[in-house]
Amino acid sequence: MSHVGQRVRLCGRDEIEPGTSRRFDVAKTRIALVRIGDDFYAIGDRCTHADFSLAEGEIYPEDKEIECWKHGSTFSLVDGQPQSLPAVKPVPVYRVEIEGDDVNVVIP
């Protein structure tokens, strides 16, 4: 049985420059929204190795990854899987929906 999530507007398309990310707090969920070109990715903002914000990390557009600035673990923006140590657990990923100029995310 599928669970229909809550859709929340995070920002306008032009509020995030390509190649950058920004943290959003939605209810009790911290989200890192990343823009690569015209594509947006939303992942959990807490590194699974240590509680540091992924939105502050470096983005690798060619690999669709973001790096935790504290210990260097990288995570896939597509599926949340860690791509390098020390992190071994994935971060959650969230569906992004663009409607007009609004960037929305679906929170389960």
Rounded average pLDDT over 53-62: 97
Taking the model in full, what pTM does it have?
A: 0.93
Domain covering 6-107, topology = Rieske Iron-sulfur Protein (2.102.10)
Q: How confident is the model at residue 108 (pLDDT cuts 50, 70, 90)?
A: confident
Sign of the dihedral through C-alpha 52, 54, 55, 56: positive
Q: Is the pLDDT of residue 107 over 70?
A: yes
Q: Is the torsion defined by CA of 39, 45, 48, 49 positive or negative?
A: positive
Q: How far apart are CA 83 and CA 85, in angstroms?
A: 7
What pLDDT, on a 0 to 100 scale, did the predictor assign at position 1? Answer: 29
* CA distances in angstroms from 13 to 4, 9, 38, 100, 107, listed in the order given: 24, 11, 9, 9, 19
